[in-house]
C-alpha cells in the first residue's frame, strides 16, 4: 500500500514560479516548466500534449514565468493539462461519475476549494435498449450494437455536462479532469470494449487495470487536454465501482477488519483491512430487486419501504407517503422479519395458517399473504406476497449469509470479528439491519457496526479528483485484493441449506433473535 | 550512458505466445498481453491506445493467443502499436527522416530484416517561402505563417510516403514507427512550435527533450497507432540532427576522443568520448555556401567540385562532367589550396600579381582570378573568384580553426589528441581534407583520421527504428553533452587573427604544409 507517511503535495492545482531564462540559464520552455513541476510536486515524469506545448511560450512570457498548472495522473503518468498566468485564471473543475447499470450520477467539483458544485442523477440511457447487464451484452452481438450503446452514454454525459455548466455559469472547458467508476460491463460499454467474454466462461474482461487517457478521445466535451481516469476492475464480476467504494471507505488503510456488501442482481462482498483484502461475488439479490415478487418494485414513490409490528397489527410506510403500489427490497425484508416474529412464518419460511388467519388467501392454489387490501391500495387491487415470493427471499438471504460465512471462513476469521459492516448502494440506504438479522440474512452483530454508506462509488470517484494520494492508492487497492471464485461445492451447499432456515439452523449464531 | 552489457531484446517486432485464459487463469486480455510483453521484453510499462484494446479480444482468440507485437518507445514509454496473429501478418516498416533546412531525406526500412527498402530526397518545400532558418522564423511572425510552413512539410512527407509505398507495393498502414532528426528550427516548424525565441536573446527553444507521440496527431498518414520519435535538441543552435549523428557514429560509446564537424551556415562541432562530450556552434560557413562568392553554388551538375595543380596548369573537375557553371565549397577550398601552393596567394590570402600574371583581372577595381574563360564556361561568361571571395573564405576557415582550437582547449586537450575527425553532411562528402589542411581550415592530422561520414542524421534516425538500445541511448547522449557558448572574447579574437593566415601564423601547427 502507499506509504501514508510520505509527504506528497496534494491536489491537482499548483502555482509555479520559475526564474525567467537568460544567457546563463537557457533551458527550453517545456523543460524549464517540467523540471520545476517535478521538483516542486515530487513526481518523476510529467507529459503534456503537443497542443499545450505550442501555447506555452506565450503564457510563460505573458505571466513572467509565474503560472498556475493543473496536473492529473498517477505513478509515472502525470499529465500537465492546463497552464495559465497565476494572476489571471478561472476556477478548475473536475467531474466524477458513478456509472451504474440503472442510474448514472455525475458530480461536479471545484478542484481549488474541494467543494461540490452540483450533482445530478440520470437513468442510464442504455436501459431503454436493454435493462440489465446480460441483455446489454447480448445487444452488442448485433452489428453496431456496441457503438450504439457507447454513443448513448457518451451523449447523455455530454448533455448533463452542458446542463450543469449552464445552470452554474461554468465554462465546460474549465472541467480539466474526470473519473468514472462502474461495474465491469458498464465500464466496457463506456469505453467501447467488446464485452462478450465477460459473461462467457472463463469470463475474461478486455482490461482490468486502471486507465488514463484524453477525455476528448471518447468525444467528451470538456477541456481539450482533460484526462479521464477509469477505475480498474478485479474481474468480470467485481468492477471499478467497488474499488472506488473501498477507497471511499478507507478499508485499505484500516487496522481493523471491515466488510463491504453491495447488493444488486449480484451481491458483491469485500472483506479486509490494510494488510489483506478478499473479495467475491455471487447471485444473492434477485428477490430483493423489482420484478421477482409480483408486487416487487425499486424504491420509488408508493413503494412500501418499512414494515413494523404494532401490537397485533402490521403497519407499513411508503416512500413519499403515497398510497402503496408495491414493495421494495427493504420493505420485503421487514415483512419477512415481522411475519417470522409474530409466528406467521415458521423457521422454514412457510406461512402458518393458524397465525395468518384471514390474511392468508389461496390464489390459484398458492398461498398469499394479504399485505394491503384493495380498498386502500394505490393500485385498487390487493397487494399480496406469495409463498413463492417468500421462498425466493429465503434463498436470497441464505445465499447472502453463505457468501458472508464462506468469505470469512476462507481467511480463518469469524463474522463477529468484523468491526464494521458497510452496506453500500441504494439497498444499503433503506435496509433495516435488525430485520435483516432477524431473518438471518446478515450476521448478528451489534447494530452500531452496520453502516449504510450510500453511493461509495461516486464518493471514491470524487476522491481521486481531489487527492493525489488517493489516486495513487487505487492500483494498490486493486493489486491488494484476492478475488475468490465462489465454487458451489458440497461445503457451500451444506452451508446454504443450513442458512435456509430463519434465522438459521444453528440459532446460537443469532442470539439476539427471539425465536 | 546506457550499460552496453545489459541484455535487452533488440528491435521492435516480437512474437509472443500466451497461455489462453481459463477459469484458474482469468487475467484480462490487455493485462495478459502486457504482462507477457513486460516479462519477455524486460520493460516496465507498456501502454496502448484504446482503439487497439478494442481489437485485442478478437485477435487474441483468432490466433489462439500467439501474436506478433510491434512496440516502440523508450524508458517508461513503450507503446504497443500493432498486434496480429503470428501466423498471418504483413511486414512491418519504419520511416526515418533527416529534416534539413534545404533538403529532406526519407528512408523506408523493413523492421523485421532491418534492410533499407528505399530512400528519397526532396527539397524542403518551406524553402520556396523562405530559403533559410532566419527567413523562415521571420515568416512565422505573419498570421498563419507557422501553420503554413508546418503544413507544407507534413504534406510533402505524406506525398513521399505515398509515392514510396506505391513504388514498392507497400500498404502505408504497415509503417508503424517513424523518427525525425532535424535542426532545432526545422524540428519546431515540423511540430508547429513557435520558433521566435530561438533567434532572440536568450535563445530559448520551446522544448529540447526528445518526444514520442502518435504520428496521426500531425496528420501523418501511416499506421493509425504509429508513434513518431523526435530527436532532442541541445539548444537553439545544436539540434537533433547532430544528436542523431553522434548516435550514428557511436561517439558516445568510444574510449578514444573523436570530433564531428557539420558545416552549413553554422559550423557545429562536437568533441568527446564515452565519458564526456562538449559541443559548440559558430558562424564559420558562409563562404562555403552558395550565394557568397559570385560564382558560388551548391553541389550540383556543372559545379566545379575538385581543383588540382597539374605541373603549372590548374585543372578542374565538375559534377556530372558538365560544362562548368560555378563552384561549390569543396572546389573553392581546393582552389585556395592550389593558389597558395603555387604562390599565387600569399600567406595573408592576397593574390600575388607576379605569380597570377594574365589570370588576374581587374574588374571594377577588384582583383579577380580567372578560373574558367568564357569560351569553355557553361554560362558563356568568365568564371572568376575575387579577392573579396577569398577574403571571405579566409575568415570562414579562420573561424572554423578557431572554433576547433577553442573547443579542444576548453577540455585541456590538443587537436592532435583527436583520434577520428568526422566530417558530416554534403560538405564532408566533397571536401578534400588535404586542401582544407593546406589552407589551415582543419588541423594537420594524418589524413586517415579524417572520415567523410555522409548523412549521419539520417543514419541515426534509422538506428532508433532498428534498435531499442540505440533509442535508449539518445537521451543519455543529450544529457551527456555540455554545450559551450562561444563567447567572442579577446582570447577568441586573438586566436582568430592568428588563424587568418595561410595556413596559420604558427606554421609549426601545420608541419605537412610546405610554405
Candidates A45, A194, A217; nearest CB to B76: A45
pLDDT at site B291: 46
Give pLDDT tens digits for B411-432.
999 999 999 999 987 777 788 9
Distance from CA of B283 to the nearest CA of A (A): 18
Cross-chain Cβ contact B45/A233 below 8 Å:
no
Residue from B74, B204, B237 whose CB has the most chain A CBs within 10 Å, to mutate = B204
Candidates A57, A193, A196; nearest CB to B197: A57
Q: Is A369 on the interface with B (CB under 8 A)?
A: no
Q: Is B219 on the interface with A (CB under 8 A)?
A: no
Residue from B18, B26, B239 whose CB has the most chain A CBs within 10 Å, to mutate = B26
Phi-psi region of A183 (alpha: psi -120 to 50; beta: other; left: phi over 0): beta
> Could you tell me which residues are beta bridge partners of residue B482?
B278
Cross-chain Cβ contact A26/B233 below 8 Å:
no
DSSP string, A359-419: GEEEETTEEEEEEE-GGG-TTSS-EEEEHHHHHHHHHHHHHHHHHHHHHHHHTT--GGG-S
Which of the 8 DSSP states describes residue B238?
A: B
Q: Is A31 on the interface with B (CB under 8 A)?
A: yes
Least Cα distance to A412 among A204, A243, A271 occurs for A271
pLDDT at site B352: 96
Degrees to nearest 5, angle at CA B489 with B488 and B495:
85
C-alpha to C-alpha distances, B508 to A166, B334, B420, nearest whole angstrom: 82, 22, 21
pLDDT at site A1: 42
Cross-chain Cβ contact A26/B191 below 8 Å:
no
* Cα A372 from Cα A382, distance rounded (Å): 6
Q: Is A475 on the interface with B (CB under 8 A)?
A: no
Distance from CA of B193 to the nearest CA of A (A): 5
Interface ipTM above 0.90 = yes
Q: Which long-range contacts (CB under 8 A, 24 or more apart) does B357-362 make?
A: none
pLDDT at site A4: 44
* Cα B200 from Cα B198, distance rounded (Å): 6
Q: Is A199 on the interface with B (CB under 8 A)?
A: no
Peptide bond into A433 cis (omega under 30): no
**For residues B137-155, average pLDDT:** 98
Pairing of strands A366-372, A383-386: antiparallel
Give pLDDT tens digits for B47-56.
999 999 999 9
CA closest to A29 among chain B residues: B206
Q: Is B412 on the interface with A (CB under 8 A)?
A: no
Candidates B26, B30, B206; nearest CB to A56: B206
Give pLDDT tens digits for B61-86.
999 999 999 999 998 689 999 999 99
Q: Decide if pLDDT at B4 tops 50.
A: no
Cross-chain Cβ contact A57/B201 below 8 Å:
no
Cβ contacts (< 8 Å) between A45 and chain B: which residues? 76
Q: How far from the centroid of its chain's Cα atoms is residue A371's Cα?
A: 32
CB B405 within 8 A of CB B506: no
Give pLDDT tens digits for B323-337.
999 998 889 999 999
Cβ contacts (< 8 Å) between A192 and chain B: which residues? 50, 54
Give pLDDT tens digits for B201-247.
999 999 999 999 999 999 999 999 999 999 999 999 999 999 999 99
Residue from A20, A22, A28, A188 whose CB has the most chain B CBs within 10 Å, to mutate = A28
Distance from CA of A360 to the nearest CA of B (A): 47
* Cα A326 from Cα A304, distance rounded (Å): 6
What is the number of other CB atoms lying within 10 angstroms of the CB of residue A353? 12
Peptide bond into A202 cis (omega under 30): yes
Q: Is A140 on the interface with B (CB under 8 A)?
A: no
**For residues B434-442, average pLDDT:** 95
Cross-chain Cβ contact B50/A213 below 8 Å:
yes
C-alpha to C-alpha distances, A483 to A133, A427, B20, B23, B161, nearest whole angstrom: 21, 23, 20, 12, 50
Candidates B29, B191, B206; nearest CB to A204: B29
Cβ contacts (< 8 Å) between A281 and chain B: which residues? none
Q: Is B373 on the interface with A (CB under 8 A)?
A: no
Distance from CA of B307 to the nearest CA of A (A): 43
Cross-chain Cβ contact B31/A208 below 8 Å:
yes
Distance from CA of B98 to the nearest CA of A (A): 21
Cβ contacts (< 8 Å) between A219 and chain B: which residues? none
pLDDT at site B154: 98
Q: Is A205 on the interface with B (CB under 8 A)?
A: yes
C-alpha to C-alpha distances, A381 to A231, A288, A324, A375, A390, nearest whole angstrom: 46, 22, 10, 8, 20
pLDDT at site A362: 95
Q: Decide if pLDDT at B287 tops 60.
A: no
Distance from CA of A65 to the nearest CA of B (A): 13
CB B422 within 8 A of CB B249: yes
* Cα A350 from Cα A389, distance rounded (Å): 11
What is the number of other CB atoms lying within 10 angstroms of the CB of residue A253? 15
> Could you tell me which residues are beta bridge partners of residue B483?
B279
Q: Is A209 on the interface with B (CB under 8 A)?
A: yes
Nine-digit cell at A431?
435496509
What is the number of other CB atoms lying within 10 angstroms of the CB of residue B6? 9
Least Cα distance to A424 among A261, A182, A218 occurs for A261
pLDDT at site A185: 96
Instruction: For chain B, give the mean pLDDT.
Output: 93
Nine-digit cell at B28?
484480462
Cβ-based neighbours of B308, under 8 Å, separated by 6 or more: B314, B315, B316, B317, B334, B338
DSSP string, B49-91: -HHHHHHHHHHHHHTTTEEEEEEEEETTEEEEEEEEETTS---
Cross-chain Cβ contact B28/A196 below 8 Å:
no
Give the up-direction half-sphere exposure of residue A361: CA atoms within 13 A in the CB hemisphere: 13
pLDDT at site B514: 82
pLDDT in tens, chain A (515 residues): 444 445 667 899 999 999 999 988 889 999 999 999 999 999 988 999 999 999 999 999 999 999 999 999 998 689 999 999 999 889 999 999 999 999 999 999 999 999 999 999 999 999 999 998 999 999 999 999 999 999 999 999 999 999 999 999 999 999 999 999 999 999 999 999 999 999 999 999 999 999 999 999 999 999 999 999 999 999 999 999 999 999 999 999 999 999 999 887 678 999 999 999 999 988 765 555 544 567 888 778 999 999 998 877 899 999 999 999 999 888 999 999 999 999 999 999 999 999 999 999 999 999 999 999 999 999 999 999 999 999 989 998 999 999 999 999 999 999 999 999 999 877 777 889 999 999 999 999 999 999 999 999 999 999 999 999 999 999 999 999 999 888 778 888 999 999 999 999 999 999 999 86
C-alpha to C-alpha distances, B469 to A380, B108, B260, B476, nearest whole angstrom: 79, 20, 22, 11
Residue from B28, B215, B237, B488 whose CB has the most chain A CBs within 10 Å, to mutate = B28
pLDDT at site A311: 77
Amino acid at each position: 500500500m502507499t506509504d501514508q507517511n510520505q509527504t506528497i503535495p496534494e491536489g491537482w492545482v499548483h502555482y509555479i514560479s520559475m526564474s525567467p531564462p537568460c544567457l546563463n540559464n537557457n533551458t527550453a520552455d517545456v523543460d524549464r516548466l517540467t523540471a520545476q513541476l517535478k521538483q516542486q510536486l515530487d513526481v518523476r515524469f510529467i507529459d503534456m500534449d503537443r497542443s499545450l506545448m505550442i501555447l506555452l511560450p506565450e503564457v510563460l512570457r505573458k505571466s513572467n514565468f509565474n503560472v498556475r498548472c493543473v496536473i492529473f495522473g498517477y505513478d509515472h503518468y502525470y499529465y500537465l493539462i492546463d497552464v495559465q498566468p497565476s494572476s489571471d485564471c478561472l476556477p478548475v473543475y473536475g467531474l466524477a461519475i458513478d456509472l451504474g447499470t440503472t442510474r448514472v450520477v455525475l458530480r461536479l467539483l471545484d478542484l481549488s476549494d474541494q467543494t461540490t458544485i452540483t450533482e445530478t442523477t440520470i437513468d442510464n440511457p442504455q436501459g431503454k435498449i436493454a435493462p440489465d447487464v446480460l441483455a446489454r451484452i447480448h445487444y452488442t452481438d448485433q452489428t453496431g450494437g456496441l457503438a450504439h450503446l457507447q454513443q448513448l452514454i457518451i451523449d447523455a454525459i455530454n448533455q448533463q455536462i452542458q446542463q450543469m455548466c449552464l445552470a452554474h455559469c461554468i465554462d465546460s472547458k474549465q472541467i480539466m479532469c474526470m473519473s468514472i467508476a462502474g461495474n465491469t460491463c458498464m465500464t466496457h460499454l463506456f469505453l467501447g470494449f467488446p464485452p462478450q467474454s465477460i459473461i462467457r466462461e472463463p469470463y475474461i474482461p478486455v482490461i482490468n487495470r486502471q486507465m488514463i487517457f484524453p477525455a476528448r478521445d471518447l468525444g467528451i466535451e470538456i477541456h481539450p487536454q482533460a484526462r479521464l481516469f477509469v477505475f480498474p476492475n478485479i474481474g468480470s464480476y467485481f468492477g471499478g465501482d467497488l474499488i472506488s467504494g473501498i477507497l471511499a471507505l478507507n478499508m485499505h488503510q484500516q487496522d481493523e477488519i471491515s466488510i463491504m456488501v453491495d447488493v444488486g442482481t449480484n451481491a458483491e462482498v469485500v472483506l479486509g483491512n490494510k494488510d489483506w483484502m478478499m473479495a467475491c461475488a455471487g447471485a444473492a439479490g434477485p428477490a430483493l430487486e423489482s420484478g421477482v415478487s409480483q408486487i416487487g418494485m425499486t424504491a420509488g414513490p408508493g413503494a412500501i419501504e418499512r414494515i413494523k409490528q404494532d401490537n397485533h397489527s402490521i403497519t407499513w410506510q411508503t416512500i413519499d407517503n403515497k398510497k402503496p403500489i408495491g414493495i421494495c427490497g427493504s420493505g420485503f425484508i421487514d415483512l419477512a422479519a415481522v411475519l417470522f416474529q409474530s409466528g406467521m412464518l415458521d423457521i422454514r419460511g412457510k406461512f402458518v395458517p393458524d397465525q395468518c388467519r384471514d390474511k392468508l388467501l389461496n390464489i390459484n392454489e398458492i398461498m398469499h399473504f394479504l399485505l394491503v387490501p384493495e380498498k386502500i391500495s394505490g393500485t385498487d387491487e390487493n397487494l399480496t406476497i406469495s409463498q413463492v415470493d417468500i421462498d425466493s427471499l429465503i434463498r436470497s438471504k441464505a445465499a447472502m449469509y453463505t457468501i458472508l460465512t464462506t468469505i470469512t471462513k476462507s481467511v480463518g476469521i469469524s463474522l463477529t470479528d468484523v468491526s464494521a459492516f458497510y452496506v453500500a448502494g441504494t439497498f444499503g440506504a433503506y435496509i433495516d439491519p435488525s430485520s435483516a438479522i432477524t431473518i438471518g440474512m446478515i450476521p448478528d452483530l451489534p447494530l452500531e457496526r452496520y453502516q449504510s454508506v450510500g453511493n461509495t462509488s461516486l464518493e471514491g470517484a470524487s476522491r481521486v479528483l481531489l487527492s493525489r494520494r488517493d489516486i495513487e492508492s487505487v492500483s494498490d487497492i486493486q493489486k491488494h485484493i484476492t478475488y475468490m471464485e465462489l465454487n458451489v461445492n458440497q461445503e457451500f451447499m451444506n452451508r446454504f441449506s443450513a442458512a435456509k432456515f430463519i434465522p438459521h439452523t444453528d440459532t446460537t449464531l443469532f442470539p439476539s433473535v427471539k425465536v
